[in-house]
Amino acid sequence: MARIGVTAEQVSAVADALVGEGKTVSIRSVRERLGDKGSPNTIQKHLAAWRDARPMASATALELPQGLATAIAAEIGRAAAQARAEIESRLVEVQAEAADLAFAGEALEDERDALQAQIAALTTERDTLAGKAAQQAADLSDLVDRVEREQQAAEAARVELAKASLRAEGLNERYSSQTNELEQLRTAIDTERRARIAAEQSAAVLGARLEASADLASRSEARAVAAERLAEQAAQELRKVQAEREDARNSAAEAREQGARLSGQVELLQAEARRREAVESAQREEHERLRAELESLRVAAAGAAGAAR
């Protein structure tokens, strides 16, 4: 984009004013009078046009004798003509060179202005790209923070799953212990049942030992009551174990929900948790079966005790 410089009219007006003030007309003086505006090349071009348009000053005639004046005038005319021809020739060359320099200077100034415009555009683009880069850096930082939070959540989920697994193992151990206790209770009930049957047979065969048999039946009944108490305690313990298993299953479910967003390792842990849940379901079914069998034994014991009475 070309620069809008000073006009020829402005330069001519300033030059005329300087001449009227008796000051030297030059590129510097004109530019200073214009307020340091305008290109020196443009001012030089306008000054050249201004000088060409000015009339030449006429020389004042000297009062000399006619002969001397004629001789001097002839000599001066000849020398002046020669000097003027040389000066005019040189002036033409200088003006041509000055015009070429002014044209080249204006072209360079136009090129400089174009380069400055390109630099301004590139600077704006650079600032825009810098802003985008800063935003991308901020977005990358946020993404890194999110990844770290997800990793922490995954680690927490793995810890919860590990805790749930430990609790499940503990419940399995308690289940095994309860199973052993139930087996011992069944053995004791079977023993008492066989004892009552033997007592009944002895009572039928040995009427004389009825009182002793009744006493044995009473002791058997007391043992049956004790067995029932033990069975009730076992049932309460089973309910407690089931409640703990339900809590563990809820904890495992929460951990699975939280770990659903994580990596394949968490998915493997979830699969393991589901397998453990299936095992727990099978164990609950076994508990229910054992409890039903225990209830049946209690009914049978109660019937035996009634028969003994």
Q: What does the pLDDT read at residue 60?
A: 47
pLDDT of residue 259: 64
pLDDT at 33: 94
The phi-psi region of residue 35 (left if phi > 0; otherwise alpha if psi is between -120 and 50; otherwise beta) is left
A 10 A CB-CB count for 146 gives: 10
Q: Residue 74's pLDDT is what? A: 80
| pLDDT score recorded for residue 32 | 95
Mean pLDDT of the chain: 78
Taking each helix axis from N to C terminus, what angle separates 40-53 and 8-20, rounded to the nearest 10 degrees? 70
Report whether pLDDT(129) > 90: no
CB contact at 8 A, 137 and 225: no
58-62, 108-112, 230-234, 237-241: range with lowest mean pLDDT: 58-62
Residue 208 DSSP class: G
Burial 181-216 (b: 16+ CB within 10 A, else e): ebeebbebbeebbebbeebbeebeeeeeeeeebeeb
Q: Are 191 and 224 in contact (CB under 8 A)?
A: no
Q: 60-91: per-residue pLDDT in tens? A: 445 567 777 688 778 877 776 776 676 666 56
pLDDT at 59 over 50: no
Alpha helix ranges (H) inside the chain: 8-20, 27-33, 40-53, 66-205, 210-259, 264-308
What spatial distance separates the first Cα and last Cα of the chain, rounded to whole Å?
125
Question: How is 32-91 classified by DSSP, letter by letter?
Answer: HHTTS-S-HHHHHHHHHHHHHHSPPPPPPPP---HHHHHHHHHHHHHHHHHHHHHHHHHH
Comparing C-alpha atoms, which of 183, 173, 292, 142 is closest to residue 241? 173
pLDDT higher for 200 or 4?
200
Provide the pLDDT for residue 64: 61
- The domain limits of the chain are 149-308
